[in-house]
Amino acid sequence: MKTISLGVVMDPIGEVHVHKDTTMALLLEAQRRVYQLFYFEQTDLFLQNGIAYGSGRALTVYDREKDWYTLSPRETICLADLDIILMRKDPPVDKTFIETTYILESAERQGVRVLNKPQSLRDANEKVFATQFPQCTPETMVTSQHVLLKMFLQQHKKIVCKPLDGMGGRSIFLVESHDANVNVIFDTLTKSQTQNMMVQAYIPDIVKGDKRIILINGKPHPFCLARVPGEGEWRGNLAAGAKGVVQPLSDRDKWICDQVGPTLQEKGLFFVGLDVIGDYLTEVNVTSPTGVRELDASVAGSIKIVDAFFDALHH
């Protein structure tokens, strides 16, 4: 039986937080299944005469807090010689990220399976993509125009303001109509009305947590991770100090997944994390969704996400 080769494109592996890193969870499971692992950073990838290559290193991973990986010497690898490539680079989706998707798309044309699909990583901005499902989202606007932003604030009284390229709760503001900093927040996020930002109506249910729901090939895992804001905080992000609480999906959560799942399948977005607050979809995370370590550690008797991921790969 042929050994399956899996390449991963990710942030520097020496800088990950092992105990909560989803990419590490996937790599550990792949290794348990005797996949051969190869490690790349974005700058390792290149095109030569239309062929996609990477200066890669064979990778071994260990589930421990220190010395959690070893890398073999570099070798030039034709990416099409790999069976699967996981694109797990964290946002921002900047110029380098976009250029990486071009190289991965070339590798995909040459026969390797790339997850998530490179074109869809470009197409599906994690904030704007949610607006394709208005039946699921709170009242939302994307604009650079201060006059429209102020009208939205006047209508809703309390709103959440986000840059379109952020992650982990960074540069997200909760704004109320009497806030003296409204103009400077709008000016900062739009870079003086030259860049779009997103505003959404505030959802009071954030106090119960911002739910992360994992979908594999369009199908949801039956449990979600509710990230409950910490003391004196309103953002439901683990990176902002929120506490993770595992809970089963509600009927509304399942309905939202039914609305979104077919589009994810169609676009080749195999591994996705939905953010749901109360009854509303707020974001669709497609670049490097997290939460797997916490979910798999907490749910007894359920199929682990890492198992479901690799089982789905081969069906």
Active-site residues, by number, are: 127, 162, 212, 227, 235, 275, 283, 285
DSSP structural state of residue 249: P
CA distance 156 to 159: 7
- Is the Cβ–Cβ distance between 14 and 70 less than 8 Å? no
Nearest-CA neighbor of 279 among 258, 311, 251?
251
Beta bridge partners of 226: 211, 245
Task: Tally the C-alpha atoms within 13 A of residue 219's C-alpha that lie toward its C-beta.
Answer: 7
Q: Where does residue 276 fall: left (phi above 0), alpha (psi -120 to 50 degrees), or beta otherwise?
A: beta
Beta bridge partners of 197: 143, 163
- The SS3 call for residue 229 is coil
Which residue intervals of 110-137 are DSSP H helices? 118-123
Q: What is the token pair recorded at 160?
A: 């959440």
Give the phi and the psi of residue 266 in degrees, each rounded to 5. Answer: -60, -35
Q: Where does residue 188 fall: left (phi above 0), alpha (psi -120 to 50 degrees), or beta otherwise?
A: alpha
The b-or-e profile of 264-278 (16+ CB within 10 A means b, else e) is beebbbbbbbbbbbb
User: Could you give the maximum distance between any two Cα atoms of the chain, in Å?
Assistant: 66
Residue given tokens 């964290």 in the structure block: 90
Q: Name every residue whose Cβ is closer than 8 Å to that of residue 193 and which is 6 or more positions away in sequence.
A: 144, 145, 146, 187
CA angle 7–8–10, rounded 5-degree value:
155
